[in-house]
Structure 1
Amino acid sequence: MTSARTSPVSPAETDDPAGRRRTGPAEGPVAPRRLPVPDWLWAALLTLAVACVGIGRAQPWRDELASWNAATRSTGELVGMLGHVDAVSGLYYLLLHGWVSVFGDSTAMLRLPSALAMAGAAAFAVLTARRLFDRRTAVFAGLLFAFLPAVSRYGQEARSYAFVVLAVSAATWLLLRALERPLPRRWAPYALAVAAAGLFHVVSLLFLLPHGLIVLLRWWRERTGRTLVGFAVTVAVALVPVVPLVLLGQRQAGRQIGWIKTPHLRGIADLWNNLFGSPTIGLAVAAVALLPLAWSRGRRPAVELLLAGAAPILAAWVVSQGSTSYFIDRYVLFTLPAWAVLAAAGLAALRPRAVGALALAAVVLLGLPDQRQLRTEWARVGLDGGAAARVISQGYRPGDGFVPVRGGDRVFMIDFQVEYFLPENVRLRDVFAERSAVASDDLFPRECAQPVRCLGSTQRVWVVTWSGTKNPYHKLPKEQADALAAHYRVAESRTVRGLEVSLLERVK
């Protein structure tokens, strides 16, 4: 009898060049095998493609213009500013500073890093779904995440929130990976993700609450002490670079987020609608996200995802009952991947399977009106800074002055709305700026205490105020309005969307 180890090879069996046995016809060319595209890769590419559609169409709003203003300063000027304002956005500003120095500061280029970050978040959401559930859920998660209106909204915004979503999404997957084999080489990348999330936005550290609860649940089931120790040590190390930022951010919080109101219970429902960029999508996600809890095979991972999505929102509500409120949808945007995966698991559990696919398609279609709306020119801002800049450019003369509405309305950044669109050869003198924003290490200049003295010999001044009134000095501080009225006459005035642009000439 011939043993299995020494049995002759049949004519249909040959060895390939790598030494592996191949079964099949001995003659004829063998077609090369195509490597399948990983699910995380196509999900990332799809999310990037969706986020890039119309990425430069909507005019940038004031927060994006703050990013532009900070990123276009020199590194030293930017670091100096962060010591006084917006320290919590410092890492993002530094990243954007390097980006615009290479790719320019067009609206599309300012926003493209956020689109890339959302694409990365989609990849980790799919990896998380695959680790917790199955491939069908992973595919559904990739499709659902890519077409959430909020993903496009913040994938097209020059702010740090997409990077926070990326960091937290990566941290969640890395935690699950580390919990399977709690070794130092698996905890180390988790520490980097935690640190990155905190440095991009300190409020995102709320995700450590559900992560801690997930670790406790796993420990309770497995009773592996090194899991608890590994998690605690990793988080402690990760927070070392974040602590100084937290302390600095607390000193700046009153100025930056003092406008956020203390939330009531009803605020949770309002936040939920805004979180997804569409009340309809928010309702649909809430409905299907509950399904995996009734699915015995997926109940444990569903509970973990529910913690990852809900706990930070509830924690933000509780913390915001104190002196400072952090309860706003974009601050908890990092929960989106968890909700997308949980909803995908619910859709994937529907039977027959075609019902789940049809339900996913319905959710995507429900979001299309909101997708179209957020790509309109006026989706984020109700005034046309570009048109105001064109009016000034057409009538500009060297030496012209500039007076935008500031005072109590400086947070609306009318000056940035206009300055962003001005061509480089149009250089206006900021008449009432006693000390520039750069020299003041601030986003805003220090304005003159005695406006009359700051007028100097300026012959012509462009004044940009809110529209809707015949008063060319509407909303200007009284001292500034009186100084202009006493020394200038209105030569012309043009109304553009939301703004009044007036050219003043000195009275001789």
Structure 2
Amino acid sequence: MNTGTLPSPTGRSAPGRPSGDASRPDRRGFARRHDWLWAALLTFGVAVTGSGTPQLWRDELASWNAAIRGTGDLVAMLGHVDAVSGLYYLLLHGWVSVFGDSATMLRMPSAFAMAGAAAFVVLTARTLFDRRAAVFAGLLFALLPSVSRYGQEARSYAFVVLAVTAATWLLVRALDRPGPRRWAPYALAVAAAGLFHIVSLLFLLPHALIVVLRWWRDRRGRTVVAFTVTVAFALVPVVPLVLLGQRQVGRQISWIKTPHLRSIAEIWDSLFGSPLVSLAIAALALLPLAWSRGRRPAVELVLIGAVPIAAAWVVSQGSTSYFMDRYLLFTVPAWVVVAAAGLAALRPRPLGVAGLAAVILLGLPDQRQLRTETAKAGRDGAEAAAVIAKGYRPGDGFVPVRGDDRVYMTDFQVEYSLPPRVELRDVFAQRSAVANDDLFPVECAQPEKCLGTTRRVWVVTWSGTQNPYHRLPKKQAEALEKHYKPVRRTKVHGLQVSLLERVR
């Protein structure tokens, strides 16, 4: 029995009537058109799963400290430090003012950004290859350990990934059918990438190469001119940020070491959050190069993934190094798409499914590790705060290890976890960080005078020693030792909490 289109009296199909049961929605067609949506939802779901468990680490604590300031105080701080993170801080400030500053809420904007990036990963894979590659790309991206890591991070890196991935898809569309309506959104994506992180603008190098290569092959229109003008407009709002960032760069990233050749292999592992997964991605990325239909887009994607890494390595041989895995995270989507195309090219087809499953399984141990309490921080600031809260008395003082170790933000780590009823006096802070328009307070030049009449002081330093003043600046340690005696010491993971009482 024929279950297809009912014949008309003339023996032809009835005009205007689709084949199949018209009363039923074309669910398969809807799914095919919206592959990007399920990929985004899956990525978001994986990112938020367990996102509240790991304690905030120092960079996230900087984000928290900036976001909870008043708008005026935040803008004033950006004039002295962290201007390159300004757009993200302002976005996070608005978010926490509505949804609060729990670890889950602080990290959720990054989960949304990664979900958006997943959508563009799928769209790019489908545009350059086919639906099978797009499905593999969506699954692979969503379940990549590094995507989960930075989808659970209160920093701007997920937003950079979103902006660069969107820019790549928009470039492909603009090159297929050039016109102002397609170049304009590309300009917005470029500007967003630069405003969220200046180093991400390295992606413009491979984009420029792709534009030139396509123009050389097709000799169509004024593609190179249109691209150049678009990028020039896009960079206008980024230029002031670059100039301000250059004045702050020595303070913010001077600690990053000049990379060696072996650093490229090390950063490759870190980009994917798992050494085994990184090896699998590298192997799969080679497969489309042998696939005639996929060779050109595969080469373009390899350029987008490889050129920024090489450029960052070269630039970092100078006075300032920018060679960090998280700074180059925006290259991951390109590698994911080309690896997914490699899986899609495998025959017989079940081999591609098996390969995808194997890559995902290889990353499961790293996924579990990412969701442990000390996966990021390495020191248990929450437990240290609990010790202080349990023994707290109104008027107690607080001395966190700062000095040369202030970048570890032990003070923020403890303060973040303290209940509202606990109000400690930071005894060696002569001027607060907010008053100083900085992330850090101005510490007393004469610590003994700043002690005042404080009867009890909680000192938080590194563990691994019985010395309650370990790593404190010499003058601070001497002032405390002269006027106080330790009455209690408690060790938590990575930290030591000491209660001092005044003797004279």
Which TM class, normalised by the smaller chain length? over 0.9
Q: Secondary structure at the match of 2:222?
A: helix
1: distance between equivalents of 2:294 and 2:230?
A: 28
- Letter of the structure 2 residue corresponding to residue 403 of structure 1: V
1:427-438 matches, cutoff 5 A: 427-438=423-434
1:404-423 matches, cutoff 5 A: 404-423=400-419
Does residue 104 in structure 1 map to residue 100 in structure 2?
A: yes
1: distance between equivalents of 2:20 and 2:65?
A: 65
- Letter of the structure 2 residue corresponding to residue 127 of structure 1: L
- Letter of the structure 2 residue corresponding to residue 470 of structure 1: Q
Match of 1:4 in 2: none
Does residue 36 in structure 1 map to residue 41 in structure 2?
A: no
Distance 1:225 1:472, change over 3 A: same
Does residue 312 in structure 1 map to residue 305 in structure 2?
A: no
Match of 1:301 in 2: 297
Alignment partner of 2:49 out of 48, 53, 73: 53
1: distance between equivalents of 2:409 and 2:75?
A: 21
Question: Superposition RMSD on alpha carbons, in Å?
Answer: 1.5
Does residue 396 in structure 1 map to residue 392 in structure 2?
A: yes
- Letter of the structure 1 residue corresponding to residue 370 of structure 2: L
Deviation, 1:294, is 1.1
Conserved? CA contact 1:383–1:498, under 8 Å = yes
Deviation, 1:30, is 3.3
Deviation, 1:10, is 4.6
1:31-72 alpha-carbon deviations (Å, 9 max, x no partner): 344362311001111111111111111111111111000000
2: distance between equivalents of 1:305 and 1:47?
A: 21
Conserved? CA contact 1:467–1:500, under 8 Å = yes
Distance 1:475 1:225, change over 3 A: same
1:244-282 alpha-carbon deviations (Å, 9 max, x no partner): 101111111111101100001111000001110001000
TM-score by length of 1: 0.95
2: distance between equivalents of 1:95 and 1:163?
A: 11
Deviation, 1:225, is 3.9
2: distance between equivalents of 1:24 and 1:213?
A: 47
Deviation, 1:9, is 5.5
Match of 1:3 in 2: none
1:386-418 alpha-carbon deviations (Å, 9 max, x no partner): 011011111111111100000000011000110
Conserved? CA contact 1:182–1:226, under 8 Å = no
Match of 1:369 in 2: 365
Deviation, 1:8, is 8.0
- Letter of the structure 2 residue corresponding to residue 216 of structure 1: V
Q: Secondary structure at the match of 2:174?
A: helix
Match of 2:203 in 1: 207
Alignment partner of 1:274 out of 258, 266, 270: 270
1:7-406 matches, cutoff 5 A: 10=10, 20-22=16-18, 30-34=23-27, 36-37=30-31, 38-406=34-402
- Letter of the structure 2 residue corresponding to residue 111 of structure 1: R
Conserved? CA contact 1:12–1:24, under 8 Å = no
**Percent identity, aligned pairs only?**
76
Deviation, 1:110, is 0.5
Conserved? CA contact 1:61–1:380, under 8 Å = yes
Gapped regions of structure 1 (runs ≥ 5): 1-6
1: distance between equivalents of 2:179 and 2:135?
A: 29
2: distance between equivalents of 1:412 and 1:249?
A: 22
1:450-492 alpha-carbon deviations (Å, 9 max, x no partner): 0011111111111101111111101000100000111111121
Q: Secondary structure at the match of 1:367?
A: helix
Deviation, 1:12, is 8.4
2: distance between equivalents of 1:370 and 1:331?
A: 20
Distance 1:503 1:8, change over 3 A: closer
Match of 2:3 in 1: none
Deviation, 1:14, is 5.3
Match of 2:448 in 1: 452
2: distance between equivalents of 1:311 and 1:13?
A: 55
1: distance between equivalents of 2:12 and 2:406?
A: 80
Deviation, 1:222, is 1.0
Conserved? CA contact 1:114–1:155, under 8 Å = yes
1: distance between equivalents of 2:18 and 2:130?
A: 30
- Letter of the structure 2 residue corresponding to residue 404 of structure 1: P
2: distance between equivalents of 1:372 and 1:268?
A: 26
Q: Secondary structure at the match of 1:97?
A: helix
Alignment partner of 1:484 out of 463, 480, 484: 480
Q: Work out the number of aligned pairs and report it.
A: 495
- Letter of the structure 2 residue corresponding to residue 174 of structure 1: L
Conserved? CA contact 1:70–1:443, under 8 Å = yes
Conserved? CA contact 2:8–2:14, under 8 Å = no
- Letter of the structure 2 residue corresponding to residue 277 of structure 1: G
Deviation, 1:364, is 0.6
1:135-190 alpha-carbon deviations (Å, 9 max, x no partner): 00000100111111000000001000000000000000000011111101110000
TM-score by length of 2: 0.96
Conserved? CA contact 2:78–2:86, under 8 Å = yes
Conserved? CA contact 1:13–1:24, under 8 Å = no
Distance 1:374 1:189, change over 3 A: same
- Letter of the structure 2 residue corresponding to residue 323 of structure 1: S
2: distance between equivalents of 1:330 and 1:282?
A: 15
- Letter of the structure 1 residue corresponding to residue 23 of structure 2: V
- Letter of the structure 1 residue corresponding to residue 39 of structure 2: A
Q: Secondary structure at the match of 1:290?
A: helix
1:493-508 matches, cutoff 5 A: 493-508=489-504
1: distance between equivalents of 2:373 and 2:454?
A: 35
Distance 1:62 1:348, change over 3 A: same
Gapped regions of structure 2 (runs ≥ 5): 1-6
1: distance between equivalents of 2:44 and 2:131?
A: 21
- Letter of the structure 2 residue corresponding to residue 31 of structure 1: R
- Letter of the structure 2 residue corresponding to residue 342 of structure 1: V
Which stretch has the larger CA shift, 372-381 or 238-247? 372-381
